[in-house]
Structure 1
Amino acid sequence: MVMHVRAEAPGDERGALLAFIAEQRGGVRRAVLGLTEEQARSRPSASELTLAGLVKHCAEVEQAWLARARQEPPAVQRTQANWHECFRLVGDETLAGQLAHWEKIAAETEAYVRSVPSLDDTFPLPNDPWFPPDEQVSVRWLCLHLIRETARHAGHADVIRESLDGKTAFELVAEEQGSPWG
């Protein structure tokens, strides 16, 4: 299921940002449309990336940024020791479980963005060496960052899916909508 968010009125910045996030999520989600668990976990290229791993990573990253905006710790703490696990399913994790988890996070993201008094409200960046110290970013920045992050991985997903069975994003959109492509 792909969540479709529409801007509520002309000039509705929140709705527009949420719609762009949802659009990019859709690109990743469509890349796994009709695949078996085995196909979604496979590595059809020289890259370590898998479609199932990309779904997990996108969900985890979105949840972590949403938690930071709320000034809470991310649900999963990643370190150098476990970083590799954010791009692949481990233990009893499944693609279906990750898709459902991401759908829940997407709803939480939308509710949060719609609930803040202003997109200019800020929160601190993590104290990581790749961020400027004591830097604050806005909820608007959060939305733009999620668009950028998810779009990057939607592109990876396109390449992996096409490497698996030759299906392109256009074909998958048509398949999702139940109409022929071509």
Structure 2
Amino acid sequence: MVTHVRAEAAGDERGALLAFIEEQRGGIRRSVLGLTEEQAAARPSASELTLGGLLKHVAEVEQSWIARAKGEPPAVARDESNWHECFTLVDGESVESQLAYGEKVAAETEAYVRSVPSLDDTFPLPDQPWFPPEGRVSVRWVCLHLIREIGRHAGHADIIRESLDGKTAFELVALERGETWG
């Protein structure tokens, strides 16, 4: 769903990229507005995805990409034995804890993107089939990839939320602003 990004998006490239990433994060965050933990864990469609799981997944993915760009390991190691856990809230995790984690990750992403000398700076990727075959990507590429990745899952969240209680993305924007829709 299109919402208006910060005015900064009309300025410098870093600001524009960060504003569009934040816009997509907003779609994920809004998808859980007013829901109980049980609703956030529900699977109302043919998919195994849940809103709580999507909230967790997008924060973990964002954190892992920024960690790679910094030359650090991701905070949470995922492999074929536990990759599915990034889509499910497990013991001790809640919507509230994932929203807080997402805020922390967003702040780290913004600080990193603003601190690099150039968006053209590159970093190596592991030699795994799900990473781009070139073996290196730029900070700009990571920002664009995050927009794509988070936006894709924001669309999933729209469908799941509408399946749960009929609320659409437009209604959730209004709810977030304390307004009524329609």
Give the TM-score taking structure 1 as reference length: 0.94
Amino acid at match of 1:101: Y
The answer for the alignment partner of 1:130 in structure 2 is 130
Against the structure 1 CA distance between its residues 35 and 136, is the aligned structure 2 distance closer, same or farther, given a 3 Å change threshold?
same
Against the structure 1 CA distance between its residues 132 and 58, is the aligned structure 2 distance closer, same or farther, given a 3 Å change threshold?
closer
- For 2:120 and 2:45, the matched residues in 1 are separated by 41
- Structure 1 gap segments, 5+ residues each: none
Q: How many pairs were matched up?
A: 179
The yes-or-no answer on 1:49 pairing with 2:22 is no
Identity %: 78
- For 2:10 and 2:38, the matched residues in 1 are separated by 44
* DSSP 3-state at the match of 1:137: strand
Cα RMSD, aligned residues only? 1.6
- For 1:5 and 1:113, the matched residues in 2 are separated by 17
The answer for the alignment partner of 1:35 in structure 2 is 35
Is the contact made by 1:171 and 1:181 (CA closer than 8 Å) also made in structure 2?
Answer: yes
Against the structure 1 CA distance between its residues 20 and 9, is the aligned structure 2 distance closer, same or farther, given a 3 Å change threshold?
closer
Matches within 5 A, 1:50-89: 50-89=50-89
Matches within 5 A, 1:3-22: 6=6, 8=8, 10-22=10-22
- For 2:39 and 2:53, the matched residues in 1 are separated by 12
Against the structure 1 CA distance between its residues 74 and 5, is the aligned structure 2 distance closer, same or farther, given a 3 Å change threshold?
farther
The answer for the alignment partner of 2:26 in structure 1 is 26
Q: How far does the alpha carbon of each residue in 1:25-77 deviate from its partner, in whole angstroms, 9 at most, with x for none?
A: 00010000000111001111121100000000001000000100001000111
Against the structure 1 CA distance between its residues 90 and 17, is the aligned structure 2 distance closer, same or farther, given a 3 Å change threshold?
same
- For 2:122 and 2:56, the matched residues in 1 are separated by 27
Amino acid at match of 2:28: V
Amino acid at match of 1:109: T
- For 1:27 and 1:152, the matched residues in 2 are separated by 10
Amino acid at match of 2:44: P
Matches within 5 A, 1:103-118: 103-118=103-118
> What's the CA shift for 1:178?
1.1
> What's the CA shift for 1:8?
4.0
The answer for the alignment partner of 1:169 in structure 2 is 169
Is the contact made by 2:9 and 2:19 (CA closer than 8 Å) also made in structure 1?
Answer: no
> What's the CA shift for 1:125?
1.6
Give the TM-score taking structure 2 as reference length: 0.94
Is the contact made by 2:9 and 2:16 (CA closer than 8 Å) also made in structure 1?
Answer: no
Against the structure 1 CA distance between its residues 5 and 125, is the aligned structure 2 distance closer, same or farther, given a 3 Å change threshold?
farther
> What's the CA shift for 1:137?
0.7
Displaced runs of 4+ in structure 1, greater than 6 A?
none
The answer for the alignment partner of 1:92 in structure 2 is 92
